[in-house]
Structure 1
Amino acid sequence: MSKPESPRISCVLTAFNEGPLASVSIKSLLSQTFGDFEILIVDDGASEETRETLHSFKDDRILHIRQANDGLSSARNRALNVARGDYVCFLDADDTRPIWAFETMMAAAQEDVDVVFSPGVLQEVRMETGPFYDQSHFDRLQMGDMAAMTAGNTPRLWISALRELACVEPQCANKMVRRAFLEKHKLRFPAGLFFEDMILHYGLLANMRSYALTELPTFTYFRRYGRPQITSGTSTTRFDAISTATNALHLFSFSEYFQDVVLRSLVLASAFKLLKWCEESVSHDHAFGYGEAIGALVNGLDQRYLKPLDENWAEVAYQYAPWVQPSLQYVASRSGRNR
């Protein structure tokens, strides 16, 4: 099959040491019912077994990009620099998309919206399957007549939608983004840092003017034994969450939507949900240093983030998700406020 001059979708897949598992991901993409796409596979210093798996696929829609191991952010950025699609999406090399994913996302994007958000499926290590963690927010958006919106038409409803979207998991598989939007706002991933998805997530919230949802899930995230996930260890990579959160919160503070006190409280809570989890799971040797770094982050925050903690606005934010209250209480405890 020959390459289209300008495909509708560029799907970025990065690989390191997934081995044969990468074939499952690639097959899921090549089996899509929507065919106008390219797959940008970035070999980020991959193992020989992984490299052999990647190159076992012969398809004109696949572009192989090879680099010395420089991390997920660098790999994704490199792919973005050569992507040709009208829209860009991402997939880890050991997760999958159902055959209807691209067709469903493109149907939602028919008005050329900035972002398409999608629910997903979670498969646990013992093969239990269920909705991804943020399904309730997609359900509320759908039921609240907020499945597709443009900023400016109904300002109050738009802000309500952004509040729900702030609670959606800050990861990449649940988004398809218009490439011109990424270029206009110079959105890229923070090279050298883990937990990089947070930057893209808040960058989208800060700048987008339109979005749409899909009702059907468009990815399956697999939790696996022995999977080299960031969330499975207690190394110093936990400290990257602090740097990434600092940058993401600073980025969002320049958004026109920052003035909504509940929205910014939810953005703050979302970031600190991850930071709180990291502190609870960091190794004993690094616990003190991590706690000190969190304190420094809170003390250096834009004070407008902290002001709602002294008012009733925090209680309003609590209504959006069960993790909001403990996250904001965590911030309050680190800032010297007693709640």
Structure 2
Amino acid sequence: MTPDVSVIIPAYNAAATIGRLIESVLQETRVALELIVVNDGSTDATQRIVSEYTDERVVLLGQDNQGVYAARNAALAIHRGEWLVFLDADDTVSDGFIYERWRTATETNADVVLFNAWCGERHDRPVHRRQPYGERISGHQWLRHCVSHPEWPHYLWLQIVRSAYLREHGMAFHAGKSHKDILWTVQLAVNNGRFYVSDRKDYTWHTNSASITHRPDYYDHRARDYIDVIAELHRLASLPENHSIQRSLRRHALVEARHFLGLYRRRVLDLAGVKVAFRSRIGRRELWRGIRSASDLCFFIKLVARLW
């Protein structure tokens, strides 16, 4: 029997939270599901905790520590569900979370449905506020909307995605330690499937101070991964089939360059090395073509002064 939904959870040293999340997922009985947990080389009790579940819906994969995106790719390669949901091991979901996402996706006949979420336990700050709620739009329309407003809700745990859509376009995650959820979501939109956006807030996002992305010695890698994102956005903008969203992709690249520069100025240790990496892959002309406002122009001047 093909599951309705595959739930993928990458886990690295998640012993304190993974059991709670698994219990939440397995409470769902209204849809057929499989739960794939990928133990990404944990050194704590994560492997033991997950392996103790005897529910046949639980699938445990193990790998050496390769990062969250490699873990998700490992699960993508074997998942069987008609729909796909990504979760993080340290977050919490509301009752009926999977069912409501599956129901919305099937009723709207979308390829990608985006939901909302709360930031932190107080539930007073949603992840996004400017989305086209309740509308059925194309991926290209959604991308243009996000760039023009501006708001880019790229977090994987906002999404439920039709598996056939992923297979049709051969989608997988780019290698790297961070920011590749940006490129995943861009590719979902670039492939121009059917999108639907719901304001249902069925997820709580917690920041994890122990996460590798919060280690001071990791900011150089994060900056280099932003370079990957900017270069890929420029590459996508250059493709003839993306002519109708070319301007939006270039503007999006300039926005990500803002994030890069903020990191570069405040966190990066190897300034010279990261500067060389940026200049070797990112052209001023392409960045210039993303300018749409006076604010963009001022930023471009600052960026060039700092890096060239």
Q: How far does residue 150 in structure 1 lie from its aligned partner after superposition?
A: 4.3
> Segments of 4+ in structure 1 off by > 6 A?
none
> How far did 1:6 drift?
0.8
Other-structure match for 1:46: 42
- Given the alignment of the two structures, is residue 228 of structure 1 paired with residue 211 of structure 2, yes or no? yes
1:121 Cα deviation after fit: 1.1
Map Cα deviations across residues 158-201 of structure 1 (whole Å, 9 max, x no partner): 67545469732322111111111111111111234432212201
* Residue equivalent to 2:136: 148
Give 3-state SS (helix, strand or coil) of 2:178's partner. Answer: coil
Partner of 2:203: 219
Retained in 1: the 8 A contact 2:144–2:245?
no
Residue of structure 1 aligned with 2:89, choices 71, 89, 93: 93
Question: Measured at CA, do residues 98 and 253 of structure 1 come closer, stay the same or move farther in structure 2, by a change above 3 Å?
Answer: farther
State the one-letter code of the partner of 2:113.
V
Give deviations 1:105-135, integer Å, cap 9, x for gaps. 2222124311111111111xxx5443344x1
1:18/1:94 contact within 8 Å kept = yes
Instruction: State how far apart, in whole Å, the 1-side matches of 2:284 and 2:23 are.
Output: 46
**SS in structure 1 opposite 2:202?**
coil
Q: Look up the SS of the partner of 2:85 in the other structure.
A: strand
The answer to whether the aligner puts 1:113 opposite 2:92 as a matched pair is: no
SS in 1 for 2:37: strand
**How far is the alpha carbon of 1:23 from its aligned partner?**
1.5
Tell me, yes or no, if structure 1 residue 69 matches structure 2 residue 70. no
Separation of aligned partners in 2, 1:248 and 1:37: 34
Q: Are 1:205 and 2:199 counterparts?
A: no
Deviation at 1:265, TM superposition (A): 4.3
Secondary structure of 1:118's counterpart equals strand
| Selected match of 1:314 from 289, 293, 300 | 293
Map of 2:299 onto structure 1: 330
Aligned-pair identity (%): 19
Match of 1:102 among 93, 98, 103: 98
Deviations 1:241-286 (A, max 9, x none): 3224323442354374543465234422442243233213424x32
2:253 to 257, 261, 268: 268
Q: Structure 1 residue 227: deviation in Å?
A: 2.2
Q: Is contact 1:16–1:43 with CA below 8 Å preserved after alignment? A: yes
Contact 2:237 2:246 in 1 (8 A): no
* Structure 2 residue ranges without an equivalent (≥5): none
- Alpha-carbon spacing, 1:92–1:159, altered in 2? closer, same or farther (3 Å): closer
The runs of 5 or more residues in structure 1 that have no matched partner are 316-324
Is the 1:207–1:255 Cα contact (8 Å) retained in structure 2?
A: no
Kindly provide the CA deviation profile for residues 51-97 of structure 1, in whole angstroms up to 9, marking residues without a partner as x: 12222333121111112222212111110011111111211111122
Pairwise CA RMSD: 2.9
1:291 paired residue among 275, 283, 296: 275
TM-score (norm 1): 0.78
Give the drift of 1:217: 1.5
Shift in Å, 1:21 = 1.4
Q: In the alignment, what sits opposite 1:321?
A: none
Matches of 1:166 and 1:185, distance apart in 2: 27
Q: Deviations over 1:202-250 (max 9, x none)?
A: 11121122111222123211023x3214145342322223224323442
Q: 1:203, 1:108 → 2: CA distance?
A: 22
Q: Is the 8 A contact 1:120 1:174 kept in 2?
A: yes
> What SS class does the counterpart of residue 293 from structure 2 fall into?
helix
Check if 1:247 corresponds to 2:224: no
Aligned length: 303
Read off the aligned partner of 1:131 and give its amino acid letter. R
CA 1:119–1:68 in 2, change beyond 3 Å: closer, same or farther? same
**In structure 2, what is the Cα distance between the partners aligned to 1:68 and 1:94?**
20
Once the two structures are TM-superposed, the CA of residue 13 in structure 1 deviates from its matched residue by: 0.3
Do 1:12 and 1:76's aligned partners in 2 also have CA atoms closer than 8 Å? yes
Q: Which moved more, 1:97-106 or 1:262-271?
A: 262-271
